């Protein structure tokens, strides 16, 4: 016991030994909550003698679950099964692999990711003879998500035999969604929304299954509880209903997933759902300097929906926090670069000790351009440099095709979006280009009516590039890029893909060209 409690502060120790009943831990940023969680798990196993198979510990990401399992195994021994340290979805998969047969689904059901969902929709669009631009994937997937906000649809999917025929009188979106559900049923595929919904339906229709899982799980603990949705809250409340041992850790001031259903009220009002709750505060911050913490406390105090707490720094004082308000992004970037130069030249600070944070990837462009102009070496972490991103390189390749029609640019974009010019047809073009001393684009123009290229999008691509060449002298580069993206179908292709970040980056490239002009 001493070993498990050593190195913990009094609040962390209290959290570790509070094993029974409903416990809420309000853990501010950098307060060592993961340490408290893992030590508590080990305490339950080693001091109370509980088998890990009887403890459910929910985290929000697979990465966090993996890290927690690694830490726990160091304390309790690697041979024990810690499979119930998992995500909500991971736990639902475990339940369904055991008991989904009660809903007339096989235990070896398929889990569909977003790409699988898109593939099902592609099939449906082809079968219904719809063009992809008639209904974008993103909107349809959004509507499917709304439908699956409530488990009622599960009843339709678990009917034995074939699902009911589609009602052709419904609007087009409804028909597509019905076909999607039918295809899902045919392959016994469940997407992430289905996993929770099928578990709720399973527990609702088979009380003995719910009781089995309630009996099995003596202790439940949930990390990042402020990011729980109503469904997730209902699930843990249901599972804890037999033994009444539910331990939740989180910080309402750090809720980041409200856009996908998270609601901090389950953390803030936890004492109203469970009046007998014990609340513990982890207020000691091990991460930041007093200056940073003081600023954070002052800002957070204005949050209207929170559990009041003030974090206390354990680190010695550091430098003052400076706030600069630039009139626009360019001024911000210039100021940042001037400060970096000041630090590196006047104070001899190594560039590798300086970091720049931004809230969205496309915002790196301003800073990157100033760093390039200032001849300062930099590295992007967790992403690509702005001008190295696929969609940016694709857009610039279209401009180079208009200007030079070089082989590199041609190879990059000839089949994006798909024009049925794959490896074999590219090999044919390369062979002819080599024989005749032509560029790949010139070869394509020469052989566009060849039987090998007749059923491709070659003619449309050539028409677009040739037209863009004729207007290139009369248009600004920004206008030319916009027309190129539309005429070649590239912008439409990216919109159908539904990746908003790529669209933001393309808009940012256009913005940078307009500024340059």
Q: Which residues are annotated as a binding site for ATP?
A: 27-34
- Asked whether the beta carbons of 47 and 4 are under 8 A apart, the reply is yes
Q: Which two tokens stand for residue 459?
A: 């003619």
Work out the burial of residue 53: count CB atoms within 10 Å of its CB; fewer than 13 is exposed, 13-18 middle, 19 or more buried.
middle
The Cα–Cα gap between 386 and 380 comes to 9
In the structure encoding, which two tokens stand for residue 492, read together?
């439409």
Give the three-class secondary structure for 139. helix
Residues annotated in a binding site: 27-34
For residues 130 and 116, what is the distance between their CA atoms, to the nearest angstrom?
Answer: 19
Write out 73-120 in H/E/C secondary structure: HHHHCCCCCCCCEEEHHHHHHHHHHHHHHHHCCCCCCEECCHHHHHHH
Cα gap 98→109, rounded to integer Å? 11
Characterise 66 by phi-psi region: left (phi > 0), alpha (psi -120 to 50), beta (else): alpha
Which residues touch 367 (CB under 8 Å, ≥6 apart)?
Answer: 332, 333, 336, 337, 356, 358
Q: 195 near 89, Cβ under 8 Å?
A: yes
Q: Which of 334, 340, 346, 344 is nearest to 373 (CA)?
A: 334
Query: What are the angstrom distances between the C-alpha of 101 and each of 150, 201, 412?
Result: 21, 12, 48
- Distance (Å, whole) CA 497 – CA 503: 10
CA distance 371 to 204: 59
The rounded radius of gyration (Å) of the Cα atoms in the chain is 29
Residue 399: which residues within 8 A CB-CB, separation 6 or more?
477, 480, 481, 484
Nearest to 249 by CA among 261, 238, 258, 236: 236
């Amino acid at each position: 016991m001493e070993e498990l409690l050593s190195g913990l502060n009094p609040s962390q120790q209290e959290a570790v030994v509070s094993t029974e009943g409903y416990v809420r831990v309000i853990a501010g940023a950098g307060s060592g909550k993961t340490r408290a969680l893992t030590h508590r798990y080990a305490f339950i196993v080693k001091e109370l003698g509980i088998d890990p198979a009887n403890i459910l510990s929910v985290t929000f990401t697979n990465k966090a679950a993996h890290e927690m399992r690694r830490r726990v195994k160091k304390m309790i021994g690697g041979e024990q099964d810690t499979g119930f340290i998992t995500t909500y979805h991971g736990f639902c998969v475990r339940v369904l692999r055991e008991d989904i047969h009660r809903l007339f689904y096989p235990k070896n059901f398929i889990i569909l990711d977003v790409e699988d969902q898109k593939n099902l929709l592609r099939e449906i669009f082809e079968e219904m003879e719809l063009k992809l631009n008639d209904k974008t994937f993103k909107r349809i997937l959004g509507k499917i998500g709304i439908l699956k906000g409530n488990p009622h649809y599960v009843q339709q999917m678990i009917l034995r035999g074939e699902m009911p025929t589609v009602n052709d009188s419904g609007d087009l979106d409804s028909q597509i969604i019905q076909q999607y559900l039918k295809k899902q049923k045919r392959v016994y595929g469940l997407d992430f929304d289905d996993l929770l919904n099928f578990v709720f339906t399973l527990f609702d229709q088979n009380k003995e299954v719910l009781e089995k899982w309630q009996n099995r799980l003596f202790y439940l603990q949930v990390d990042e509880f402020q990011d729980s949705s109503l469904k997730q809250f209902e699930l843990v409340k249901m599972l804890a209903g037999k033994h009444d041992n539910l331990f939740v850790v989180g910080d309402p001031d750090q809720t980041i997933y409200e856009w996908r259903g998270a609601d901090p009220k389950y953390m803030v009002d936890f004492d109203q759902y469970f009046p007998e709750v014990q609340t513990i505060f982890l207020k000691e911050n091990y991460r930041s300097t007093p200056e940073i913490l003081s600023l954070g406390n002052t800002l957070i105090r204005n949050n209207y929906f929170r559990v009041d707490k003030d974090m206390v720094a354990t680190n010695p004082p550091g430098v003052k926090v400076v706030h600069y308000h630039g009139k626009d992004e360019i001024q911000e970037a210039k100021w940042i670069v001037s400060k970096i130069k000041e630090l590196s030249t006047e104070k001899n600070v190594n560039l590798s000790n300086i970091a720049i944070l931004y809230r969205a990837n496309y915002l790196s462009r301003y800073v990157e351009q100033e760093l390039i102009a200032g001849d300062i070496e930099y590295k992007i972490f967790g992403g690509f440099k702005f001008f190295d991103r696929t969609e940016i390189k694709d857009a610039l390749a279209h401009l180079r095709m208009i200007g030079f029609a070089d082989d590199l640019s041609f190879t990059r974009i000839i089949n994006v979006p798909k024009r049925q010019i794959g490896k074999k047809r590219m090999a044919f073009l390369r062979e002819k280009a080599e024989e005749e001393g032509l560029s790949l684009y010139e070869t394509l123009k020469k052989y566009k009516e060849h039987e090998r290229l007749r059923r491709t999008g070659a003619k449309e691509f050539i028409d677009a590039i040739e037209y863009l060449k004729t207007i290139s002298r009369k248009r600004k580069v920004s206008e030319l890029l916009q027309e190129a993206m539309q005429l070649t179908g590239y912008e439409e292709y990216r919109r159908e893909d539904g990746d908003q970040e790529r669209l933001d980056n393309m808009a940012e490239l256009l913005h940078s060209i307009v500024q340059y002009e």
